[in-house]
C-alpha cells in the first residue's frame, strides 16, 4: 500500500522516543518534543508526524517500527534513546531486526560528530537502516538521547563564521529518501542544507509559470488521495449524489475531511465482513489503532475494514494553551463532573453522519460497528444508544457513558436494539472503574443484553480482552450473514 499523503511531496515522519521511565510517566519525555521542534524548523516540505513513546522493550520497538513503516507508511523514522551499552539499551538490535539493509555511514558520522564533544561517543551504538516492503521503503535512524546531542547530530558542526565544518547526518537524508522512492524533501538552509548531486536537483519554476495550468493544485491533490489512500472512499458517495441537486441547494458537508480519515484493512484475509468505525482516545490520533485489523484477525475475529477518524484539535480546560486531539473537553475535576455536553453531542452527531455515509456506499447497517478507546469509547456509547436505526454493534474499551443521567429519556428504539460490548480495566487510573461500572449499570437498564467485562489491567489493552472483542465482532459478522 502506498503511503496516504494529504498533499504532493508530503513527508510522513515517525518520531519514536524509547524510555522505560518516561513511558511510565515518571518524568516528562523530552525526546519527541526536541525531535519535532527541530524537524519543523529544518524541513520546509509539508509534514505529517506520527509520534510514539514506548519502553525499552525489544518487542515493542520492533512492533512500533513495523507499524510505522508497513501500516502508517512513514518515509523517515527518527528514534531517540536506548543506544548505549547498558543491558536495557536494545534499540539498535530492534532496528536491525526489522531492517532489510543497513546504512552504516549514518552511525559512523553520528559517532564522529559526538566525538568532538565527549570521548564516550565511542560507546554509542546508533545505526541507520532501510526497511523495504514491495511498494514502499523507509529510512530509520537511531539518534542520541540527549536533546542537545540530537540537534548537533542532525545539523553538524559550524565554525565561528557559521559555515559547516562537520556535516550533520540530515544533509544526506533528503537524497537518500529520493533514492528509495520517497517525497522530495526541502530544508531551511539556515538550519541544515540538503545535499544532492546536480542531476538530482529539481529546477525552480519560473514565477510566470506558476499561474499557468496544466492543472491547479486542488485538482492535482484529489487523484493522489483517491489512488494512493482509501480515505476518500468513506464520504465520496455524497458529492456524487449531490451533483444532481438544483444549483441553489448547498451540498451537504461531509462528516470528516478526507485528510482526517484513515482506512485500514488486514494485510490478509479477503474481503471485509464488517466496517468498523473506531475512535481514538484523547491526546493521540487516528494512527493509534492502525494495527487493529491485523490484530483482530489474529485473535480469530472477522476481516474488518477499519475507518479511523481524527478528533478535532481543541484546547482543554485541564491544559490551557496546549491544543490536542479530543472528542470533547473535560472541564471538571473528574471526567463525569461539569461535562462538556455541547462537545459530546457535536462529536456524536458527526459520528452518526459518518455511519450514514458508509451506509450510503452500500454497506448494510447490520455490518457497521462503532467502537473506540477511552474518550472514543465514551462517544461510541453515547452515539450508539441514540441511533434512529440499530447498527451491528458498539464496542467500548476503557471508557464510560457521558451524560449518563440523560440516557433514559434520550435512548432510542434503535439504540436499545444495538448490541453493546463494554470492557474495562480493574485498575484503570484514567477512567475510574467505579464510573465505568456505574455506566454499565445504567446502560443495562435500556439494553439488558449488553456484555460488560473487566480485566486485571490499567488503562490499556490485554490479550483476554482482545480475544473477547474479536469474538463479539465475529458474532456480529455471523449474524449479519445469516
Instruction: Please indicate whether residue 459 is annotated as part of the active site.
Output: yes
| Selection from 144, 139, 138, 140 nearest residue 125 by Cα | 144
Cell of 447: 439494553
Instruction: Specify burial of residue 97 (Cβ count, 10 A radius: 0-12, 13-18, 19+).
Output: middle
| Region for residue 302 given its phi and psi (left: phi exceeds 0; alpha: psi -120 to 50; beta: otherwise) | beta
Which of 428, 439, 447, 468 is catalytic? The answer is: 428
Concerning whether 374 is annotated as a catalytic residue, the answer is yes
CA 311 from centre of chain:
11
In which residue are the cell numbers 457535536 written?
346
Tell me the pairing of strands 451-455 and 420-425.
parallel
DSSP for 389-456, written as a single string: S--SEEEEES---TTGGGHHHH--HHHHTS-EEEEEETT-SSS-HHHHHHHHHHHHHH-TT-EEEEES
User: What separation in angstroms does the CA of 414 have from each of 116, 123, 237, 388, 392?
Assistant: 68, 63, 24, 5, 11
Q: Catalytic annotation on 439? A: no
3-state secondary structure (DSSP) of residue 247: coil
Residue 391: C-alpha distances to residues 355, 365, 371, 413, 465 (Å): 9, 5, 11, 12, 22
How big is the chain, counted in residues?
A: 482
Contacts of 139 (CB under 8 A, 6+ apart): 75, 76, 77, 103, 128, 129, 130, 173, 176, 177, 180, 182
| Cβ atoms 418, 390 nearer than 8 A | yes
Residue 274 near residue 366 (C-beta atoms within 8 A): no
Catalytic member of 374, 380, 398, 439 = 374
The Cα 105–Cα 129 span in angstroms is 10
Strands 11-18 and 76-80: parallel
The contacts of residue 356 (CB under 8 Å, 6+ apart) are: none
Residue of 399, 396, 395, 408 lying closest to 443 (CA atoms): 408
Catalytic residue among 6, 20, 356, 459: 459
Question: By CB neighbour count within 10 A (0-12 exposed, 13-18 middle, 19+ buried), where does 362 fall?
Answer: exposed
Give the CA angle between residues 104, 109, 111 to the nearest 5°.
100
Residue with cell 553538524: 156
Catalytic residues: 374, 428, 459
Amino acid at each position: 500500500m502506498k503511503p496516504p499523503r494529504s498533499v504532493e511531496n508530503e513527508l510522513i515522519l515517525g518520531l519514536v522516543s524509547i524510555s522505560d521511565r518516561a513511558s511510565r510517566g515518571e518524568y516528562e519525555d523530552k525526546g519527541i518534543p526536541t525531535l519535532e521542534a527541530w524537524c519543523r524548523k529544518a524541513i520546509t516540505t509539508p509534514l505529517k508526524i506520527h509520534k510514539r513513546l514506548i519502553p525499552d522493550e525489544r518487542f515493542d520497538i520492533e512492533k512500533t517500527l513495523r507499524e510505522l513503516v508497513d501500516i502508517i507508511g512513514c518515509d523517515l523514522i527518527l528514534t531517540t534513546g536506548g543506544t548505549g551499552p547498558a543491558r536495557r539499551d536494545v534499540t539498535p538490535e530492534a532496528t536491525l531486526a526489522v531492517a532489510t539493509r543497513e546504512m552504516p555511514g549514518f552511525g559512523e558520522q553520528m559517532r564522529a560528530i559526538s566525538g568532538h564533544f565527549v570521548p564516550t561517543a565511542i560507546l554509542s551504538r546508533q545505526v541507520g537502516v532501510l526497511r523495504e516492503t514491495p511498494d514502499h521503503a523507509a529510512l530509520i535512524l537511531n539518534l542520541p538521547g540527549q536533546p542537545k546531542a540530537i540537534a548537533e547530530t542532525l545539523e553538524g558542526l559550524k565554525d565561528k563564521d557559521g559555515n559547516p565544518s562537520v556535516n550533520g547526518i540530515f544533509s544526506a537524508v533528503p537524497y537518500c529518501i529520493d533514492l528509495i522512492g520517497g517525497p522530495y524533501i526541502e530544508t531551511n538552509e539556515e538550519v541544515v542544507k540538503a545535499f544532492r548531486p546536480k542531476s538530482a536537483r529539481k529546477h525552480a519554476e519560473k514565477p510566470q509559470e506558476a499561474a499557468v495550468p496544466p492543472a491547479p493544485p486542488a485538482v492535482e491533490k484529489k487523484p493522489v488521495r483517491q489512488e494512493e489512500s482509501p480515505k476518500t472512499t468513506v464520504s465520496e458517495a455524497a458529492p456524487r449524489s449531490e451533483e444532481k441537486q438544483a444549483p441553489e441547494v448547498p451540498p451537504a458537508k461531509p462528516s470528516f475531511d478526507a485528510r482526517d480519515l484513515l482506512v485500514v484493512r488486514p494485510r490478509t484475509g479477503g474481503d471485509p465482513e464488517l466496517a468498523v468505525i473506531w475512535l481514538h482516545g484523547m491526546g493521540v490520533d487516528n494512527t493509534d489503532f492502525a494495527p487493529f485489523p491485523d490484530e483482530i484477525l489474529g485473535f480469530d475475529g472477522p476481516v474488518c475494514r477499519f475507518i479511523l477518524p481524527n478528533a478535532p484539535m481543541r484546547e482543554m480546560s485541564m491544559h490551557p494553551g496546549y491544543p490536542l486531539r479530543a472528542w470533547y473537553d473535560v472541564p471538571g475535576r473528574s471526567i463525569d463532573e461539569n461535562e462538556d455536553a455541547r462537545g459530546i453531542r457535536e462529536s456524536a452527531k458527526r459520528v452518526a453522519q459518518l455511519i450514514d455515509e458508509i451506509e450510503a456506499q452500500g454497506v448494510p447497517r447490520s455490518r457497521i460497528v462503532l467502537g473506540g478507546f477511552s474518550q472514543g469509547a465514551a462517544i461510541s456509547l453515547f452515539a450508539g444508544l441514540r441511533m434512529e436505526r440499530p447498527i451491528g454493534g458498539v464496542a467500548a474499551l476503557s471508557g464510560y457513558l457521558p451524560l449518563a443521567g440523560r440516557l433514559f429519556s434520550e435512548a432510542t428504539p434503535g439504540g436499545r436494539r444495538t448490541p453493546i460490548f463494554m470492557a474495562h480495566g480493574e485498575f484503570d487510573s484514567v477512567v475510574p472503574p467505579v464510573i465505568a461500572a456505574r455506566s454499565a449499570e445504567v446502560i443495562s437498564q435500556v439494553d439488558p443484553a449488553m456484555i460488560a467485562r473487566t480485566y486485571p489491567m490499567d488503562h490499556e489493552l490485554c490479550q483476554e480482552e482482545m480475544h473477547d472483542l474479536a469474538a463479539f465482532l465475529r458474532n456480529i459478522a455471523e449474524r449479519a450473514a445469516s
